[in-house]
Amino acid sequence: MIRFGATLSRRVAPVRRPVAYSIPTRPFAAAGTGRGPVSWAGLVVSGAVACAVVAYYNVEKDRLQTLVMTKQKTTGKPSLGGPWSLVDMNGKPVTDADYRGKYVLFYYGFTRCPDICPSELVKVGAVLDLLGPDIAGKSLETLFISVDPQRDTLSQLREYARDFHPTIQYLTGTKEQIAVATKAWRVYFVKANENENDDEDYLVDHSTVLYLMGPTGEFEEFFTSSVNAPEIAKKIRAHVNQETSSDGEIGPAEVLQATLTKFGKLLRSTK
Residues 48 and 91 in one domain: no
Task: Report angle CA 142, 226, 85 to the nearest 5 degrees.
Answer: 30
Query: Phi/psi zone of residue 82: left (φ > 0), alpha (ψ -120 to 50 degrees), beta?
Result: left
pLDDT in tens, the chain (271 residues): 444 444 444 444 555 555 555 555 555 445 445 455 556 666 666 666 666 655 555 555 444 444 433 443 444 566 677 899 999 999 999 999 999 999 999 999 999 998 899 999 999 999 999 999 999 988 999 999 999 999 999 999 999 999 999 999 999 999 999 999 999 888 887 877 666 666 677 888 888 899 999 999 999 999 999 999 999 999 999 999 874 343 444 344 444 444 455 445 545 555 5
Rounded (10°) CA dihedral 181, 109, 225, 95? 30
User: Is residue 14 domain-resident?
Assistant: no
Measured distance CA(145)–CA(2) in Å, rounded: 105
Q: Which amino acid is at 154?
A: L
Extract long-range pairs of 46-49: CB within 8 Å, 24+ residues apart: none
CA dist 156 → 117, 135, 173, 175 (Å):
15, 28, 13, 17
Residues 63 and 118 in one domain: no
Residues 144 and 171 in one domain: yes
Domain residues for 71? 43-76
Q: Residue 170 class from Cβ within 10 Å (0-12 exposed, 13-18 middle, 19+ buried)? A: buried
Domains in the chain, number? 2
Residues 71 and 94 in one domain: no
Read off the pTM: 0.60
Residues 117 and 233 in one domain: yes
Residues 138 and 65 in one domain: no
- Closest by alpha carbon to 213, among 86, 104, 132, 100? 104
